[in-house]
């Protein structure tokens, strides 16, 4: 394991000790988790929750319920999440694809090898790497590392990766940190949620390092 990946394991341990289990998306159907993963692109989760409440009121949180919605109506239901044209189109593309290719159930997709399932998700218009990995990890329970802006900030500010690192580079770094674990999927699930937590509380666009659980790892050049 590289030194950077080993360091990430320490971050996981210390964040878990500081914040405890994050329990992301418990008691949700895989389909609802996938809907949330699409809606949360470039949007705060509180806004997604308002959209999901609207979808629930319209009984549109199932595949058949979603497909019954005219696209115009769907845009209004998800308005709190923003980017309504793109996200409504993606939700419908995803739902039609699921019905056509997997008999309307994510359980068939979940049976595929992770990279094959990921390849299929990435082929759906509007689904990028972060959304695909969120669906794989949180809806399908596959060991897929999720890379987001919070992770990018933490690893670049701590010099574990360069500023110009690609999504694939960072995904590989996280994958390496957890690949030997017997609880790989559960730990990847917690790790992403913990990184989001430290990102919200401390590692914003402007850092708030005092009191951050990762402060002791900060490179000397960043502490001045
Ligand atoms: S110590 Fe500072 S730079 Fe490091 S994760 Fe915390 S807020 Fe970000």
- Same domain? For 18 and 59 the reply is no
- What is the average per-residue pLDDT within 1-27? 91
If residue 37 lies in a helix (H) or strand (E), which one and from where to where?
A: helix 30-39
Mean pLDDT computed over every residue of the chain: 94
224 pLDDT tier (thresholds 50, 70, 90) = very low
Number of domains in the chain: 2
Q: Which residues pair with 207 in a beta bridge?
A: 203
- Same domain? For 64 and 158 the reply is no
Q: Of 115, 139, 163, which residue is a domain's last?
A: 139
Residue nearest to atom 2 of ligand 1 (CA): 209
Q: Of 105, 139, 173, which residue is a domain's last?
A: 139
- Same domain? For 15 and 95 the reply is no
Give the number of the atom of ligand 1 that is nearest the alpha carbon of residue 154. 5
Indicate whether 99 belongs to any domain: yes
pTM of structure: 0.94
Check whether 49 has a pLDDT greater than 80.
yes
* Number of residues written out for the chain: 224
Question: Model confidence over 72-90: pLDDT tens digits?
Answer: 999 999 999 999 999 999 9
- Same domain? For 35 and 124 the reply is yes
- Same domain? For 109 and 151 the reply is no
Residue 218 Cβ contacting ligand 1 at under 6 Å: yes
Least confident of 14-28, 32-46, 114-128, 186-200: 14-28
Residue 160 Cβ contacting ligand 1 at under 6 Å: no
181 pLDDT tier (thresholds 50, 70, 90) = confident
Question: Model confidence over 139-180: pLDDT tens digits?
Answer: 999 999 999 999 999 999 999 999 999 999 999 999 999 987
What CATH number does the domain containing 201 carry? 1.10.1670.10
- Same domain? For 19 and 55 the reply is no
What CATH number does the domain containing 81 carry? 1.10.340.30
pLDDT exceeding 70 applies to what percent of the chain?
98
- Same domain? For 134 and 35 the reply is yes
- Same domain? For 167 and 212 the reply is yes
d(CA 27, CA 19): 21
- Same domain? For 114 and 214 the reply is no
- Same domain? For 179 and 110 the reply is no
Indicate whether 11 belongs to any domain: yes
Containing structural domain, residue 179: 3-23+146-219
Q: Of 139, 161, 189, which residue is a domain's last?
A: 139
Instruction: Name, in order, each residue with C-beta under 8 angstroms of 25's C-beta and a sequence gap of 6 or more.
Output: 33, 36, 138, 139
- Same domain? For 210 and 185 the reply is yes
Indicate whether 224 belongs to any domain: no
In this prediction, residue 38 carries a pLDDT of 96
216 CA → ligand 1 middle, Å: 9
Phi, psi of 20, rounded to the nearest 5 degrees: 75, 180
- Same domain? For 64 and 118 the reply is yes
């Amino acid at each position: 394991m590289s030194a950077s990946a080993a360091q990430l394991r320490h971050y996981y341990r210390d964040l878990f000790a500081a914040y405890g289990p994050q329990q992301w998306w418990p008691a949700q159907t895989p389909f609802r988790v996938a809907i949330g993963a699409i809606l949360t692109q470039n949007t705060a989760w509180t806004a997604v929750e308002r959209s999901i409440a609207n979808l629930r009121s319209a009984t549109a949180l199932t595949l058949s319920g979603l497909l019954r919605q005219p696209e115009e109506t769907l845009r209004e239901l998800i308005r709190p999440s923003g980017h309504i044209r793109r996200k409504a189109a993606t939700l419908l593309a995803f739902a039609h694809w699921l019905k056509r290719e997997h008999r309307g159930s994510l359980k068939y997709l979940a049976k595929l090898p992770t990279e094959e399932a990921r390849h299929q998700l990435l082929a759906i218009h509007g689904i990028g790497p972060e959304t695909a990995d969120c669906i794989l990890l949180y809806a399908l329970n596959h060991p897929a590392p999720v890379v987001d802006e919070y992770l990018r900030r933490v690893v670049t500010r701590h010099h574990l990766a360069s500023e110009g690192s690609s999504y694939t580079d960072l995904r590989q770094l996280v994958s390496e940190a957890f690949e030997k674990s017997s609880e790989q999927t559960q730990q990847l699930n917690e790790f992403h949620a913990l990184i989001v937590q430290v990102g919200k509380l401390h590692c914003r666009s402007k850092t708030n390092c005092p009191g951050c659980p990762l402060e002791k790892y900060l490179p000397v050049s960043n502490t001045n």
